[in-house]
Amino acid sequence: MLGILGKKIGMTRVFKDDGRVIPVTVIECSPNEITQIKTVDKDGYPALVLGFSKLRKPTKTKKFSFSREFKIDEKDIANYKVGDTLTLEALKDLEKVTITGVSKGKGFQGVVKKYHFRGGARTHGSHMHREPGSVGTRAKPGRVHKGKKLPGEMGNQTVTLQGVSIEMVDVAKNIICLKGQIPGPKSGLVIIKKQ
């Protein structure tokens, strides 16, 4: 198994035998079902499509709230079939994993909050407090350069963290505890992959 889908529950802490207290993020990974197997002959590449979080009223085309695909080696396709379930059992022996999630969206923000611009003077009659200031263009080039730090949407981006330590795996309760914070809000989708 190359990965599994889960739902972020929240944060807590784990007490170690030597007295250390480690902050952890708790992720619920209920068994993922294989909904489709992609092959080189049919789709051009080998992959497994996993479904997570069954819908209360499934339709003919959609049974799960979330589905993501994981590329695998062509020789490993024979080990899987549609309808099989994948659990946290495969992650028990691992020490570190790669996590992907969508960060919390903060809406449209100005440059002071988004990029930590200093802003203008607060006194002496200044009317420029939290504005971005000059963007540095004149007749030539007559446009704003790409990548200029300007106001816009903040957050709501896919973030991947590598080398996240596994502190605890409870296969019976479908729970995994990962060291530190994980991107995304509570109940947000998280993709856990082997390093």
The helix (H) or strand (E) run that includes residue 88 is: none
pLDDT of residue 10: 95
Residue among 195, 138, 184 at smallest CA distance from 27: 184
pLDDT of residue 1: 58
pLDDT of residue 195: 81
Walking along the chain (195 residues) 10 residues at a time, the average pLDDT comes out as 89 93 96 91 92 88 89 88 89 92 96 94 92 87 91 96 94 94 94 91
pLDDT of residue 138: 85
The helix (H) or strand (E) run that includes residue 116 is: none
- Spell out the domain ranges in the chain: 3-106+161-194, 107-130+149-156
What fold, for 3-106+161-194? Elongation Factor Tu (Ef-tu); domain 3 (2.40.30)
Is there a cis peptide before residue 46, judged by omega within 30 degrees of 0? no
pLDDT of residue 76: 85
pLDDT of residue 8: 96
Residue 67 in contact with residue 51, Cβ under 8 Å? yes
